[in-house]
């Protein structure tokens, strides 16, 4: 019988766990500890928050009174420094010990900083503080170098154009995101940068040097260095696993969990960005997306409650850049072929990845309906006729009938 749950980390995974515990009928104590001022949402950090159109209070994951209303003890501005499943305790930075029959590690991650000479003090983007610092630097006319053209790098480039910065985006991979959205759509998405004045360079970053007038960047692909006022690294995240390692849990580029989010110690669960599932002996990739973190929380709550886990559904994420809304569901990389619905570059279009007559993934631009339909087609394993799928005049709901 679990009476006390301590959740370490107040991102969507941690807050999602607390919410799902209460909605599932958990009556024991829930304590949520977060290092920040209050639990806030991360996706806006590269979008509206960076643009200055939303402030910190606008991106709170829950209104302040929600925690009291749900009898969730929220402890902020401090860190959990140790998790001790053997004694059923969690220790805070101040030395306070909290009783915990079950600990949920929802510790997220930090922005990766590869060992590029001169890059130790340049901007990264993971926290609201990072975003505030970057926002202050993105003055009109600022010369910005964005390193990494994946999801976050591309969003920062897009927001910086809106802020009238001069943007150069470097990435050695061309086109970025091909594995997630397919090569053709990835190329189109990457091409949007140039249409909005972003200079894209296929290159890595070799080193950075401070000069009296800025930061000189040496790129691997060009001999001539280029000068910038602001540099931001958008090269991925590192899962926060230190507490898990110190507690003796199994860690391998993520905290290893099973399908119930249970770690190698049954009294500790892990959810969200740092959790890495081992399924049938195979280590899966960490998801690193918002909805996946929320679903982890719902599964962890079911584990605590001893109730059936929520139904599995195809993974989904979104990204916004240059005023287009992109959603991806399932696994486009698993597709043998693609059915395009509409025309790439039209205001709204989608592409469906198919394998053995079934949809395995989809990507949609400004078309949430297509993604919702694709998700149902994937989840229910409905066989589809490719020609009908690719015909925009056919309502996708018809295909859901099989
Ligand atoms: C800039 C940005 C934009 C993004 N945009 C999108 C998007 O458009 N679409 C999408 O699907 N996903 C997006 N993501 C990814 C998504 O936000 C993450 O997958 C999600 O936030 C993961 O949630 P989490 O709860 O696992 O971790 P986090 O949100 O990182 O939360 C972890 C929390 O744990 C706290 N913590 C860590 N260690 C301790 C400790 N020892 N004691 C106390 N507290 C601790 C941290 O302070 C943090 O608040 C974006 C991410 C970023 C950074």
CATH number at residue 376: 3.30.390.30
Site to probe by mutation for ligand 1, drawn from 107, 134, 157, 269 as the one with most ligand atoms within 8 Å of Cβ, is 107
Domain termination residue (choose one: 210, 233, 256):
233
Is residue 200 assigned to a domain?
yes
Flag whether the pTM goes above 0.95: yes
One domain, residues 295 and 204: no
pLDDT in tens, 210-235: 999 999 999 999 889 999 999 999 99
50, 151, 177, 289 from 323: Cα distances, Å? 15, 14, 18, 20
C-beta separation of 201 from 222 below 8 A: yes
Contact 137, 123 (CB under 8 A): yes
Residue 315 lies in a domain: no
Q: Do residue 153 and residue 225 come from a single domain?
A: yes
pLDDT exceeds cutoff 80 at 402: no
97 found inside a domain: yes
Is residue 228 domain-shared with residue 245, that is, in the same domain? no
Write down which residue in 305, 338, 353 finishes a domain: 305
Instruction: Indicate if 222 and 251 belong to the same structural domain.
Output: no
Reading the block at residue 177, the tokens are 């995101």
Contacts of 63 (CB under 8 A, 6+ apart): none
> How far is residue 335's CA from residue 305's CA, in Å, rounded to a whole number?
37
How does pLDDT run across 178-193, given as a tens digit for each residue?
Answer: 999 999 999 999 999 9
- Within a domain: 92: yes
Tell me, yes or no, whether 298 lies in a domain. Answer: yes
Do 32 and 82 lie in a common domain?
Answer: yes
Residues 101 and 246 in one domain: yes
Distances (CA, A) of 193 to 187, 216, 301: 10, 22, 41
Distance CA 168, CA 193 (A): 9
pLDDT(108) > 90:
yes
Does the pLDDT of residue 47 top 80, yes or no?
yes
pLDDT tens across 303-351, in order? Answer: 999 999 999 999 999 999 999 999 999 999 999 999 999 999 999 999 9
| Structural domain boundaries, residue 99 | 4-110+237-305
Q: Which of 42, 74, 261, when mutated, tests ligand 1's pocket best, judged by the most ligand atoms within 8 Å of its CB?
A: 42
Phi/psi at 183 (5° precision): -65, -40
CATH code: domain of residue 162: 3.50.50.60
Residue 105 included in any domain: yes
One domain for residues 157 and 8: no
Q: pLDDT (tens digit, 9 = 90+) per residue, 48-88?
A: 999 999 999 999 999 999 999 999 999 999 999 999 999 99
Can you give the pLDDT at residue 400? 87
Q: What pLDDT score does 222 carry? A: 85
**What is the dihedral angle through the alpha carbons of 117, 121, 124, 129, rounded to the nearest 10 degrees?**
170
- Best residue for ligand 1 mutational test, from 6, 9, 32 (most atoms within 8 Å of Cβ): 9
* 19-57 core/surface letters (b: 16 or more CB in 10 A; e: else): bbbbeeebeebbbbbbbbebbbbbbbbbbbbbbeeeebe
Same domain? For 138 and 208 the reply is yes
Q: Which two tokens stand for residue 93?
A: 């930075």
Q: Could you give the CA distance from residue 297 to residue 261 in angstroms, rounded to a whole number? A: 9
* Ligand 1 pocket by Cβ (under 6 Å): 8-14, 33-36, 42-43, 45-46, 79-80, 106-109, 125-126, 152, 240, 243, 272-273, 288-290, 293, 317-319
On whether residue 318 sits in a domain, the answer given is no
Percent of the residues in the chain that have a pLDDT greater than 90, as a whole number: 97
State yes or no: cis peptide before 175, omega within 30 of 0: yes
| Cα–Cα distance for residue pair 153/158, rounded to 1 Å | 9
At which residue do the structure tokens 């692909």 appear?
A: 221
Alpha helices by DSSP H, listed for 163-232, are: 178-181, 183-195
Let me know if residue 357 belongs to a domain: yes
Contact 241, 276 (CB under 8 A): no
Averaged pLDDT for residues 230-256: 98
pLDDT-based confidence at residue 1 (cuts at 50, 70, 90): confident
Question: pLDDT of 3-39, one tens digit each?
Answer: 999 999 999 999 999 999 999 999 999 999 999 999 9
- Which residue's alpha carbon is at the smallest distance from atom 3 of ligand 1? 43
The pLDDT-based confidence of 397 (bands split at 50, 70, 90) is confident
Strand partners, 283: 278
Query: For residue 167, what are its two tokens?
Result: 């943007």
Cβ neighbours for 23, distance < 8 A, ≥ 6 positions apart: none
Within this chain, do residues 223 and 165 fall inside the same structural domain, yes or no?
Answer: yes
Last residue of one domain, picked from the residues 186, 216, 233: 233
Q: In 24-148, where does DSSP find H-type helix?
A: 48-51, 65-69, 128-137
* 76 CA to centre of ligand 1 in angstroms: 15
Whether residues 227 and 241 fall in one domain: no
- Average model confidence (pLDDT) for the chain? 96
Domain total for the chain? 3
For residues 224 and 262, membership in a common domain is answered with no
Is residue 128 domain-shared with residue 222, that is, in the same domain? Answer: yes
**C-alpha of residue 232 to centroid of ligand 1, in Å:** 18
Beta bridge partner(s), residue 275: 255
């Amino acid at each position: 019988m679990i009476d006390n749950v301590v959740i370490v980390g107040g991102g969507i995974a941690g807050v999602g766990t607390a919410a799902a515990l209460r909605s599932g009928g958990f009556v024991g104590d829930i304590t949520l500890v977060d290092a920040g001022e209050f639990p806030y949402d991360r996706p806006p950090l590269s979008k509206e928050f960076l643009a200055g159109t939303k402030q910190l209070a606008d991106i709170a994951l829950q209104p302040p009174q929600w925690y009291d209303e749900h009898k969730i003890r929220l402890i902020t501005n401090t860190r959990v420094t140790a998790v001790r499943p053997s004694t059923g305790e969690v220790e805070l930075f101040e030395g306070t010990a909290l009783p915990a029959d079950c600990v949920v590690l929802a510790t997220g991650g930090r922005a990766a900083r590869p060992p590029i000479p001169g890059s130790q003090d340049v901007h990264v983007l993971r926290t609201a503080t990072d975003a505030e610092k970057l926002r202050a630097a993105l003055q009109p006319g600022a010369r910005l170098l964005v390193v990494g053209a994946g999801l976050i790098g591309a969003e920062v480039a897009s927001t910086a154009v809106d802020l009238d910065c001069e943007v150069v985006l470097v990435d050695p991979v061309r086109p970025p995101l091909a594995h997630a959205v397919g090569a053709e759509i990835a190329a189109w998405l990457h091409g949007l940068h140039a249409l909005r004045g972003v200079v894209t360079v296929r290159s890595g970053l070799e080193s950075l040097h401070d000069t009296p007038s800025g930061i000189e960047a040496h790129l691997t692909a060009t001999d001539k260095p280029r000068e910038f006022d602001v540099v931001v690294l958008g090269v991925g995240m590192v899962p926060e696993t230190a507490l898990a390692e110190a507690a003796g849990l199994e860690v391998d580029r993520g905290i290893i969990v099973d399908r119930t989010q249970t770690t190698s110690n049954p009294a500790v669960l892990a959810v969200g960005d740092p959790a890495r599932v081992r399924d049938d002996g195979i280590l899966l990739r960490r998801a690193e997306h918002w909805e996946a973190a929320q679903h982890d929380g719902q599964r962890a709550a079911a584990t605590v409650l001893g109730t059936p886990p929520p139904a599995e559904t195809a993974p989904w994420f979104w990204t916004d850049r240059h005023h287009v809304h992109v959603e991806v569901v399932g696994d486009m990389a698993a597709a043998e072929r693609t059915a395009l619905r509409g025309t790439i570059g039209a205001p709204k279009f989608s592409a469906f990845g198919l394998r053995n007559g079934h949809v395995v993934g989809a990507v949609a631009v400004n078309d949430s309906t297509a993604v919702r339909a694709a998700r149902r087609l994937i989840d229910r394993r409905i066989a589809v006729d490719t020609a009908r799928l690719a015909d925009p005049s056919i309502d996708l709901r018809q295909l859901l009938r099989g």
